[in-house]
Amino acid sequence: DVKVTQSSRYLVKRTGEKVFLECVQDMDHENMFWYRQDPGLGLRLIYFSYDVKMKEKGDIPEGYSVSREKKERFSLILESASTNQTSMYLCASSFDRAPEAFFGQGTRLTVV
Amino acid sequence: AQSVTQPDIHITVSEGASLELRCNYSYGATPYLFWYVQSPGQGLQLLLKYFSGDTLVQGIKGFEAEFKRSQSSFNLRKPSVHWSDAAEYFCAVHGGGADGLTFGKGTHLIIQP
């Protein structure tokens, strides 16, 4: 079975903190994605990566950055967390240009 | 760019009744189509997918979906719902590029006893 693991299920951080959300996949997938999920807005793409050290902005990249130093790991970074970044964050991975994506369990981040 | 519309934000169905969740997409060619389900506090689980061929596709948990090119629709159906089907359902489209899936805003399914 494909496994996409997000390091935390729940996080509570203070405004202004630097926050790291980690995601690891075990299927040697080329593509990895970070989505943000908010009620009534569905899932919105923040960043994606199609190769090690490569990254592309999604639909809502402002306030976020990413890092992909190894193929299996994709990190989402909130440089200075703000309350409007309180949300559910979902990581996903897929083979190169393959349509089907596999999702992690999600990290519910609360910024206070 | 592709887009997905799920017209129903909430749907309430009695246990044992049939279900249809609507999904319309906008894309220049035939896209890859998906339905995912999300139980409370969980990630997304793939219910079914359409790539090509037979326009009626079967998925897990007794769900099926029908691709209708003329209507740009990919509606999800189940003949008899169970209380465990209460969840958020997302329709998604993939245009074949590297930028992944585009999701609808989701439909929240409530099951009445």
Chain segment A30-51, per-residue pLDDT in tens: 999 999 999 889 999 999 999 9
Percent of chain A with pLDDT over 70: 98
Biggest distance spanned by C-alpha atoms of chain A: 38
Show residues of chain A in contact with B105, CB under 8 Å. 40-42
Q: Position of tokens 């390091």?
A: A7
Question: Quick one: pLDDT band at residue A76, thresholds 50, 70, 90?
Answer: very high
Question: Can you list the residues of chain B whose pLDDT is less than 50?
Answer: none
The predicted model gives A61-80 an average pLDDT of 96
Instruction: Return the pLDDT at B40.
Output: 86
- Give contacts of A102 with chain B, Cβ < 8 Å: 46
Q: Which of B51, B97, B103 faces A43 most closely, judged by CB atoms?
A: B103
pLDDT attached to residue B2? 81
Per DSSP, the three-state class of B52 is: coil
Q: For position A18, what pLDDT does the model report? A: 97
Phi-psi region of A13 (alpha: psi -120 to 50; beta: other; left: phi over 0): beta
Task: Kindly report the three-state secondary structure assignment for every residue of chain A.
Answer: CCCEEECCCEEEECCCCCEEEEEEECCCCCEEEEEEEECCCEEEEEEEECCCCCCEECCCCCCEEEEEEECCEEEEEECCCCHHHCEEEEEEEECCCCCCCEECCCEEEEEC
Interface probe for A, chosen from B105, B107, B108 (most Cβ of A below 10 Å), is: B105
Give residue A95's pLDDT.
Answer: 87
Q: What is the pLDDT of residue B42?
A: 84
